């Protein structure tokens, strides 16, 4: 049912499965990690360069600089004119883009396999030789401000979720939005962007992922030729960010906006992330999210809240993604039915959670979810790009290739008892923020 789900309900299980046998990895002498994912069904390749830096690595007061730099990485080097990078890719029939998150910044191209070398040449070039003119920087600042208007300020649900994150993190840099706070974005300078670049962009702080019709030896040769000459940085700061203190008191926010047509309640709980060699709690939480709200019909929240004559909700969801450097969140939400207040739907959500914590896991439902997780191994093989993203994001937050390969089995091994233990530990209102998104009755 793909019609008009509110944006909050589209976050699903984002930790997909791993697919073991055709994955190779190695590290160049200068520290560049390389992962090769073979898929020889079509003569196509996706190459991605992941930098282990994101918005959570920015200096205080410079929110948005990681994303601003991502835009500027297309605006010229000593060898290439502004815009020439993308123009070159499209002239070869390829496509390219980039994205920034809290913990990483990634650049990718999709081209026919015989054009891979050209791509690696250009990526290696912009890893070291970015060259920015002031007018270009000034124009691109306008573009990111327009982007913020479009993605966030035009959408009350986005503004609400931005406020919710800011309220969830007292000390962690995850409190600031990836795109940045507007006032700080307006003040970002060419020097700020270049400072972030020189601090974090180096082969020993990057991962190259190549997926498609390639061989490990072929990629090793090309990577060595083009990235090998780059010098590693000796001044990359350790990722020791301010940590979240234990949350001792429940927090609540109410966000009102005249543009809200459909109110809802959303709650985030602080939750542990995946760690190298230690993914069991994250796996249990991943399964818990599926059980509680991963599917719109048979999940615990849906069954309890969306069915029957006086169902209090029309949508419910639960989500968790443990692919994160620091402590992350487990999220649940519910959209009230007509005639139900947000307070009532929140009460119903809490009652459902209490019942679940008392009664435990329905083994049939758990088995079904594990069957689907196993099948997703098969479906994932149809999408080499998806596998590239899975490996890139995991390695960028400090997991290893082995961790990614182990993940599907760890998910399969999760027991009902482990799920309940994870639920007992995380679903504690004292370590949560509950937000209400409401319509502001005062209109224009």
Active site members: 70
CA neighbor of 100 nearest in space, from 129, 75, 71, 123 = 71
Q: How far is the CB of 382 from another protein (least distance, A)?
A: 4
Distance CA 198, CA 196 (A): 6
Task: In angstroms, give the least distance from the CB of 151 to another protein.
Answer: 8
Three-state DSSP class for residue 131: coil
Name the residue nearer to another protein (CB basis): 42 or 351: 42
CB 318 within 8 A of CB 294: yes
Which C-beta is closer to another protein: that of 216 or that of 336?
336
Beta carbon nearer to another protein, 138 or 221: 138
- Residue among 211 and 399 whose Cβ is closer to another protein: 211
- By beta-carbon proximity to another protein, the closer residue of 7 and 276 is 7
> Token digits for 319?
């989500």
With contact defined as beta carbons under 8 Å apart, do 216 and 40 qualify?
A: no
Interatomic CA distance for residues 383 and 386, integer angstroms: 5
Q: Which is nearer to another protein, 29 or 153 (CB)?
A: 153
φ, ψ (nearest 5 deg) of residue 4: 45, 45
- Closest CB 197 distance from another protein, rounded Å: 20
CA gap 434, 444 in Å, rounded = 28
Shortest distance (Å) from residue 374 CB to another protein? 7
Q: How far is the CB of 269 from another protein (least distance, A)?
A: 26
Rounded Cα–Cα distance for residues 177 and 270 (Å): 17
What is the spatial distance between Cα 29 and Cα 32, in angstroms, rounded to a whole number? 7
Q: Report which of 183, 206, 270, 289 is spatially closest to residue 28, judged by C-alpha positions.
A: 206
Taking the complex as a whole, how short is the minimal distance between the CB of residue 174 and another protein, in angstroms? 24
The 3-state DSSP composition of the chain as helix, strand, coil percent (nearest 5) reads: 45, 20, 35
Q: What phi and psi, each to the nearest 5 degrees, are found at residue 384?
A: -65, -35
The answer to whether the beta carbons of residues 241 and 296 sit under 8 Å apart is no
Question: How far apart are alpha carbons 406 and 18 in whole angstroms?
Answer: 8
* 381's tokens: 């093989």
Min CB(389)–another protein separation in Å? 14
Please choose, from the candidates 1, 104, 56, 12, the residue with its C-alpha nearest in 3D space to the C-alpha of residue 397: 104
What is the distance of C-alpha 294 from the center of its chain?
17
Which residue number, 153 or 359, has a Cβ lying nearer to another protein?
153
Cite the beta strand spans of 52-201 per DSSP E.
95-100, 105-112
């Amino acid at each position: 049912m793909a019609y008009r789900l509110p944006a909050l309900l589209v976050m699903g299980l984002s930790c997909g499965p791993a697919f073991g046998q055709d994955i190779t990895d190695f590290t160049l002498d200068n520290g560049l990690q390389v992962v090769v994912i073979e898929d020889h069904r079509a003569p196509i390749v996706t190459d991605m360069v992941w930098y282990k830096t994101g918005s959570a690595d920015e200096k205080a007061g410079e929110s948005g600089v990681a994303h601003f730099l991502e835009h500027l990485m297309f605006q010229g080097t000593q060898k290439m004119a502004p815009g020439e990078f993308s123009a070159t890719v499209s002239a070869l029939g390829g496509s390219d883009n980039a994205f920034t998150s809290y913990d990483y910044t990634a650049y990718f191209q999709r081209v026919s396999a015989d054009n891979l070398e050209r791509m690696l040449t250009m990526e290696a070039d912009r890893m070291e030789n970015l060259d920015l003119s002031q007018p270009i920087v000034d124009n691109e600042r306008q573009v990111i401000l327009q982007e913020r208007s479009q993605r966030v300020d035009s959408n009350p649900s986005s503004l609400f979720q931005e406020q919710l994150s800011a309220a969830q993190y007292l000390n962690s840099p995850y409190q600031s939005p990836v795109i940045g706070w507007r006032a700080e974005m307006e003040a970002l300078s060419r020097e700020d962007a270049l400072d972030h670049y020189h601090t974090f962009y180096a082969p020993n702080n990057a991962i190259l992922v190549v997926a498609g019709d390639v061989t490990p030896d072929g990629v090793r040769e090309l990577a060595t030729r083009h990235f090998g000459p780059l010098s590693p940085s000796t001044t990359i700061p350790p990722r020791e960010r301010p940590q979240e203190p234990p949350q001792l008191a429940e927090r609540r926010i109410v966000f009102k906006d005249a543009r809200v047509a459909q109110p809802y309640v959303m709650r985030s709980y602080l939750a542990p992330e995946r760690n190298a060699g230690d993914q069991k709690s994250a796996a249990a939480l991943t399964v818990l999210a599926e059980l509680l709200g991963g599917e719109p019909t048979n999940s615990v929240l849906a069954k309890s809240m969306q069915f029957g004559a006086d169902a209090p909700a029309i949508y419910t969801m639960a989500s968790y993604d443990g692919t994160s450097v620091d402590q992350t969140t487990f999220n649940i939400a519910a959209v009230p039915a007509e005639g139900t207040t947000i307070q009532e739907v929140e009460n119903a959500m809490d009652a459902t959670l209490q019942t679940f914590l008392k009664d435990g896991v329905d083994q049939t439902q758990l088995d079904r979810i594990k069957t689907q997780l196993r099948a997703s191994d098969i479906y994932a093989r149809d999408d080499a790009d998806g596998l590239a993203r899975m490996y890139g994001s995991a390695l960028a937050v400090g997991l290893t290739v082995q961790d990614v390969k182990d993940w599907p089995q760890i998910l399969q091994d999760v027991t009902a008892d482990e799920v309940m233990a994870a639920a007992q530990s995380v679903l504690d209102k004292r370590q949560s923020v509950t937000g209400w998104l409401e319509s502001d009755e005062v209109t224009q």
